[in-house]
Structure 1
Amino acid sequence: MPRMLSISLTVLAVYSAVIALIPPLRRGLSGLTEFVDSWLFPIAPNLAYAAFTALLAGALARRKRIAWRLVVVLLGISLALSLAGVLVLLYVPGGTFEGGKGTLAETAFSLVVVTLLMVLMLWSRQEFYARVQPASARKAILTLGGLLAVSFVVGFLLVTAFSGTLPPHRRAVWTLSHTLGGVFDVPHPGHPPSWVSFLIGLMSAIALITAFAVLFRSQRAKAVLAPEDEERIRKLLGERDSLAYFATRRDRSAIFSPSGKAAVSYRVVNGVSLAGGDPVGDPEAWEHAIRAWTDQAAAYGWTPAAIGASEEGARAYQRGGLKVLELGDEAVIDVAAFTLTGREMRGVRQAVNRVERAGYTLCVRRHHELNPEEMRTIIGRAEAWRDTETERGFSMALGRLGDPRDGQCVLVQARKPDGDEAALLSFVPWGATGLSLDLMRRDRDAENGLMEFMVAGLVEAAPGLGVDRISLNFAVFRSAFEEGARIGAGPVIRAWRRLLLFLSRWWQLESLYRANVKYHPEWVPRFLAYGDTRDLVKVGIASAVAEGFLRPPSLPQLLRRGEA
C-alpha cells in the first residue's frame, strides 16, 4: 500500500508540474484534470502544489505515520464535502444546483470513490509506522509562521514601492490575502504589477514546502559511539573482516543482536542508515543484528544501506532483505608470497632502490612504542600534510590518531637523509595477524617512490610483528579498469572505463587502482547493500558525504564565503 500510494502521488506531482509549465497542454488536458480533481484526489496546475505532492509521496514511501494522517485528513475533508453535496442535491429538484455543474449521480459516485480510498487508508494503517523528529508538527508550524511573516514583510515593501493602482489603505490587506494564498478574498479597487503578486505567491509557496519538509523529516541519530558500546564492539572484533576495527570509530553508532554476540556499526547520513563493512561478532548472530538494524531503520523512516561489505557480509545483508551490488576490490598483500624479484615487480623494485640510494630510512613500530612527544609530532605532520579541508573516510578509516586504546596499530615512518619526517602510514589491526591501512600522508617535496619504499619495508618487517597479511587501499570499480583495457573488450565495458577515466579527474578512481595494482595483490571484492533500486542515488550521495568526498555547505560556510 505505501508503495502504491507513493507511485500514484508521484504521478500526480509530475502531472501537476507539467501542466503548470506547459499552458497548451494544460488546456488540452483540462477535462482529465477536472475529472481527477473532482472524483479522485485534489490536483492543480501549480508548481508549489506539485512540490508538496512530491514531498507527501516521499514521506508515504518511507511509511511516515504523519503523512498517512495528512492523507486521511484530506480524504476526510473530501468525504465530508461529497456527503454534504449528496444531501443537498437530494433536496434540489432534478438533482442539480442552480448554476452548478455536479449532478446527484456524479456526486454520489465521487462519494463512493472517496469512501473506498478512506477504507483502504484505514485498513493499511499499520503499514505506516515510521516516526519523525520529536515535536515536528510544532517545528513545522513555527517554520511556516516565520517564513510567511517574512513573505508578508517583503511583499508589503514590494507593494509599497510598486503599488500600481492599489490605494495605500488597501496595501496591507491585499498583501496579507496573497501571502496566505487567497484563503480569504477581499475585493480591492486596484492591484500592483503582476510580477509582485507572483513573487509573493512564490515566497509563500516556498514557506509551505519548507514547512512540510520539516514536518516529514526523519528522526536524526547522534553519531556517537558510547564508551560502553565501544568496549562491547572491541570484544567482538575477530579475524574475518579487514574493516572490522573501523567499527570503533566514535562518530558511528552500534546496534547489537538480542544475544549481544554481533553488532552492526552505522551512521545516519541524510536519512540513510549507512553501515560500514560487515557486522562484527559471531556470524551466526549476524542475521539477528542485521534484522535489529533494519527494523530500527524502518521505525525511523531511514533507508538502510551498507558500504564495503565482504562477500560473506554481502550474503548476510542479502538474507536480511537487502540487494547487493559489487562496488570494487580491496588489495590484500600476502606477506609470505610477496617479493620484489621478477619482471612484473620491476617498477616497484626500481622505486625502492631509488629511495634507498637517496638516503631515506624507515621505521616500523606499534603505536604504543612511541612516546607522547613523538606521537604529537606525528599527529602534527599528519594534519599538515592532509590535502583536504576535513578528514576523509568512513568505511576504511579510523578518524583518529594517537589514542591510547589504539596502541596495537602500526606506524610506518619514512625519514629524509637529514632525519626529518618524509611520510607516514598507519595501519589498524586486522585480527591478531593482519593489518589494514588507515592513514597515508607524505611531504609533497619528498622523493618519488616513497610509498613503494614504505610498503616494501613494512612487508619485510611484518614477520617480526607477527603479521602475515596486509590490506591496502580499496579500488572502486577495479574490474572495469582492468577488463576495459584488455584487447577485445566489448563496447559497453570500454565505454564504462572511459566514463570512469573521465570521473577520475575529480575523484581518485584510476589513481587508487594504479597505486594498488603494482604490488600484484590478491583482489578481494567489496559490495554495496541497499534496500531498493530507487534509493541508489540517495545511498550514493550519503556514502559520498560520509566518506568526505561530498560536503554539503552549511549556512555559516556560505556566509564566510560571501565575506571573502
Structure 2
Amino acid sequence: MSRWGGTVLTVFRRLPFTSALVTLSLLVAVATTTLWSPAEDKSWFHDVAYGLPSLEAGRWWTPITGSFLAFLPIQYLPIVLTTAIFVGIGEWVLGTRTAAWVTLVGQFGAVVAVSLLVALLRHTDWAWAHARAEAYDVGFSAGAFAVLAVASAKMRPPWRARARILMWAYAIPNLILIGTLADLAHLVSLLVWLPLGPRIVGRPARLWIPGLSRYEIRWLAAAFFWLSALVTVVGQLISVEGPFGHFGGTGTSWWTVIPTVAFDLVIGVGLVHGRRLWWRFALALTVVAGAVGTIPVVTLAFSREVPQGLGLYVVVLVFDLIQVAVLVLGRRAFRNPSYRRRAHEGVSVFGGTPNEGDRDEVRQRLAAIGSPNDLAWMTTWPENRWWFPPNRDGYVTYQLRNGVALGLCDPVAEPEERAELLDMFVGAAREAGTTPCLFSVTEEVAAWARGRGWIALEVAEEAVIDLPALQFRGKKWQDVRTALNQAGKRGITHRLLPLAEAPRGLQVQVRAISDSWVGDKGLPEMGFTLGGVDEAMDPQVLVGLAIDAEGTVLGVTSWMPVHGEDGRQIGWTLDLMRRLPEGFRYTMEFLIASGCVAFKEQGYAMVSLSGAPLAHMDEDESGVDRSGIDRVLDLVRTTLEPYYGFQSLEAFKSKFQPRYKQLYMVFADEAALPKIGVALGSAYLDGLGPAKLLALLRT
C-alpha cells in the first residue's frame, strides 16, 4: 500500500465520524449532480431544503436532507473543509461518540430553532425577518460550529480562547452584515453549545472574563483594523440586504480601496509590536472615524421616518466605540518606542545591541552565581545578547531571530530568583513584540514552563561523567582502553592548555583541522549551542590536543568551565571536537578519555560531554512520549544527520558510559513552532545561503 493510502486509512480509523460525514456529502453531491450544477435550480430543491416554509408545509425530513447539500457547486469546497476541520477537531478532542451526538443534535436543533425564531420575528415590521421567513437553506455548518464550541472547552489555553474568538469573529460580522439563515444558525450554535461545553467535557464552567495580557491586548487592537480591512474587501465583492441595511456594492474604485486596506494592515502590524507611535495614530484615526460616523446617526435618528440604513450606521459607530475603548483601556500595552528612538534616547532596553562590556559582566556574574545548567558557559559567547533585569544580579541570554527571542540555557540567578527572572524576561520579550522561547534548558525550567501552561519538549540529552568513580575497567570500556593503548604505541601524547596561550604553530594547525572539517560538510559551521575555534580561543577555555611524535596535531577538543550553583567551578563541558580525516582512528576516544583522567587528577567532580542538538535516546530507552511536534524535530535532525551526525555523535558519547540529563525547548504555543523552527535554523546555520539551502532540500 502507498504512503498516501496508509495515511487515508489512518484518518478513517482515527476519525470515523468525520470521514463518514465528508464521504456522505460528496456522495450526495455526485448522486444529485449538484457537484457540477446549482442545487437551487433543481425542480426538487424546495422538497429537500430546510427552512420555515418547509416545516410549515410538513416536510419534516428537510433538516436531514438539506444538511448534505450546497446551493452552488463551488460551495462544496468550504462545506467539506469546514466539516473536516471543525468536526475533525471535535472528534479528535471529544472522541467519536460525543462528537457524533453533539454534531447531529447541534445541526438539527439549530435548523429548527432558527425556523421558530424567524417565525416569531416575521410578526414585526423588520423587512429582513420577513425575507428570512420565506427563505430556504442547506448545509451542515451549524453542527460543525456546535461540536467545535464544545471541543473548545477541553482545549488548553491559549487554543481554547483562539478557537472561540475565531468562531465569534466569523459569526458576528457575517450575521450583522449579511444575515443569512446559516449565519443565524451559527449564532444559535454558539449561544447554546459554548455554555454547555464545560458540562459535557466535565470541566468547571468559568463565568468571568479572564484578564488580558499586554500581548493579547495588542492582538485584539490589531484585529479591529485587520477585520476592517477584510470587511472593506468583501464589501467590494458582494451586495446584499443584511439585517441592518444594505451592505456592499458601493461602487468604490479599487484604487481607493487598496490603499485603505493596506493602511489598516500596516496599523495592525504596528499595534502587534506595541509601538507607541502607531497606538497614537490608531487612536486618533478611530476617534475621528467615530466622530464622523456620529453625524449620519444623529441626522437619520431625528428624521421623521427612520430610514433602513440607520442600523448599519449604528453598528459601525458601536464598532468604533469598542475599538476606542480597547485602545484607551489597554494603553499600557503600547509603550515600545521605535528602535531609532531608543538609540536616540540612549535607553537600555530589550533587544539592544550588546557590547564587550556586557560580555565581561556576564562572565563575572556566571562565575559568582553559577548555574544548574552545565552548558551555561556558552551564554558568554559573543553572538548572544543579554537581558539584565533591573535591580537583579542575574541575566538571561538570548538571540533575536525571525521575531523570536530565542533564550539560551537556564537563567543565571540565585535559585529563589530564577522563576521570577524568567517571568520578567518573558514579559520583556512580549513587550518588545517578540515571541519568547527558551532552548537547551534543564528540568527546572521545564517545570516552570509546564506550571504556566507552556510546552516543554525534549530536544537533547546531556551526557555526564562522574569523575570520582571513573575507572576504565570491564568489557564496556574496551574501545576506550584500546584508544589509550594504541596512542601510547604510536607515541601520541595529550596536551591540555588554553588555546589562546598555545604556540602559534599549534593554533594554525587547529584552525586548519577545523577548516578542513567545515569544508567537507559543504555547509556553514553550526553555531548557537555549538562553538568553534573562535570560542575555543577564550582564555578560560581549555583545549585537549592529540600530538604525534613529529609534532603534528591529530585532533582537538575544547572544554568549557562548569560553575556550580554556588559559583565554584566543579567540572568541564566538552564543546569542539575535530580531527584530521586520515589521522589516528581513535583520536576522539583518546582525547576525551585523557581529558577525563586529567580533570579527575585535578579534583574536579564531573565532565559533561554536552548534548547533541535535536538528538535524543529512543523512546523505549527514555520513556519519553514522542509527540507530533517531536516528530517534526526528528525530521529536521534526520535531514541534517548526513552533514552533522547528531545521532552518531550521541552514539559515540555512549562509549563513556555517561548518565543522561534531559535538555528541553520550552515555548508557550504550538502555533509559533514554525516561526521558532525558522529561528532555530537561523541560529544554527547563520551563514546558510539560499543556494545551499535549496541543495540541501533537494538532497
TM-score range, shorter chain: 0.5 to 0.7
1:467 aligns with 2:598: no
1:530 Cα shift?
2.6
Q: For 1:89-168, list aligned pairs within 5 A.
A: 89=300, 94=305, 103-134=309-340
Q: Distance in 2 between matches of 1:117 and 1:11?
A: 7
Task: Decide which moves more: 542-551 or 497-506.
Answer: 497-506
Helix, strand or coil for the counterpart of 1:393?
coil
Partner of 2:618: 482
Partner of 1:83: 294
Q: For 1:124-523, list aligned pairs within 5 A.
A: 124-134=330-340, 220-226=351-357, 229-230=361-362, 232-238=364-370, 240-315=372-447, 323-350=455-482, 353=485, 359=490, 361-367=492-498, 370-374=501-505, 376-377=507-508, 380-381=511-512, 383-387=514-518, 391-395=525-529, 397=531, 400-401=534-535, 403=537, 406-416=538-548, 418-431=550-563, 432-476=569-613, 478-479=615-616, 481-483=617-619, 499=635, 500-502=637-639, 504-505=641-642, 508-523=645-660
Q: Distance in 1 between matches of 2:322 and 2:540?
A: 65
Closer, same or farther: CA 244–495 of 1 in aligned 2, 3 Å: closer
Conserved in 1, the CA contact under 8 Å of 2:571 and 2:599? no
Conserved in 1, the CA contact under 8 Å of 2:442 and 2:663? yes
Q: Distance in 1 between matches of 2:336 and 2:499?
A: 46
Q: Distance in 2 between matches of 1:341 and 1:293?
A: 47
Conserved in 1, the CA contact under 8 Å of 2:240 and 2:247? no
Q: What per-residue deviation string (whole Å, max 9, x for no partner) do you get for residues 346-392 of structure 1?
A: 445555555555x2613232318944435643553355335067553
Q: Distance in 1 between matches of 2:690 and 2:590?
A: 39
Closer, same or farther: CA 370–79 of 1 in aligned 2, 3 Å: closer
Q: Which amino acid aligns with 1:482?
A: D
1:528 aligns with 2:665: yes
Conserved in 1, the CA contact under 8 Å of 2:619 and 2:626? no
1:525 Cα shift?
0.8
Q: Which amino acid aligns with 1:362?
A: T
1:332 Cα shift?
1.3
Closer, same or farther: CA 296–502 of 1 in aligned 2, 3 Å: closer
TM-score, normalised to structure 1, is 0.66
1:485 Cα shift?
8.5
- Which sections of structure 1, spanning at least 5 residues, go unmatched? 97-101, 139-217, 559-564
Closer, same or farther: CA 456–26 of 1 in aligned 2, 3 Å: farther
1:426 Cα shift?
0.9
Q: Distance in 1 between matches of 2:259 and 2:549?
A: 66
Q: Distance in 1 between matches of 2:491 and 2:458?
A: 40
Helix, strand or coil for the counterpart of 1:129?
coil
Helix, strand or coil for the counterpart of 2:438?
strand
Conserved in 2, the CA contact under 8 Å of 1:544 and 1:550? no
Closer, same or farther: CA 275–342 of 1 in aligned 2, 3 Å: same
Q: What per-residue deviation string (whole Å, max 9, x for no partner) do you get for residues 187-236 of structure 1?
A: xxxxxxxxxxxxxxxxxxxxxxxxxxxxxxx9842133415524532442
Conserved in 1, the CA contact under 8 Å of 2:524 and 2:688? no
Partner of 2:201: none
Q: What per-residue deviation string (whole Å, max 9, x for no partner) do you get for residues 238-293 of structure 1?
A: 26331222232233333345554322223333333332211224222323433443
Q: Distance in 2 between matches of 1:230 and 1:352?
A: 38
Helix, strand or coil for the counterpart of 1:293?
helix
Partner of 1:201: none
Conserved in 1, the CA contact under 8 Å of 2:237 and 2:248? no
Q: What per-residue deviation string (whole Å, max 9, x for no partner) do you get for residues 149-200 of structure 1?
A: xxxxxxxxxxxxxxxxxxxxxxxxxxxxxxxxxxxxxxxxxxxxxxxxxxxx
1:51 Cα shift?
7.3
Partner of 1:205: none
Closer, same or farther: CA 288–225 of 1 in aligned 2, 3 Å: farther
Task: Decide which moves more: 498-507 or 330-339.
Answer: 498-507
Closer, same or farther: CA 222–354 of 1 in aligned 2, 3 Å: same
- Which sections of structure 2, spanning at least 5 residues, go unmatched? 1-211, 564-568, 694-699
Conserved in 2, the CA contact under 8 Å of 1:309 and 1:527? yes
Q: Distance in 1 between matches of 2:228 and 2:326?
A: 23
1:322 Cα shift?
5.8
Q: Distance in 1 between matches of 2:228 and 2:319?
A: 21
Task: Decide which moves more: 314-323 or 228-237.
Answer: 314-323
1:415 Cα shift?
2.4
1:72 aligns with 2:283: yes
Larger radius of gyration: 2
Q: Distance in 2 between matches of 1:126 and 1:493?
A: 35
Q: Which amino acid aligns with 2:492?
A: T
**Matched length:** 460
Task: Decide which moves more: 433-442 or 107-116.
Answer: 107-116
Q: Distance in 2 between matches of 1:47 and 1:348?
A: 69
Conserved in 1, the CA contact under 8 Å of 2:513 and 2:578? yes
Helix, strand or coil for the counterpart of 1:463?
helix
Helix, strand or coil for the counterpart of 2:286?
helix
Q: Which amino acid aligns with 1:75?
A: T
Closer, same or farther: CA 443–393 of 1 in aligned 2, 3 Å: same
Q: Distance in 2 between matches of 1:552 and 1:77?
A: 47
Q: What per-residue deviation string (whole Å, max 9, x for no partner) do you get for residues 311-357 of structure 1?
A: 23444566788653322211112234444443434445555555555
| Identical positions, percent | 21
Q: Which amino acid aligns with 1:232?
A: Q
Conserved in 2, the CA contact under 8 Å of 1:272 and 1:302? yes
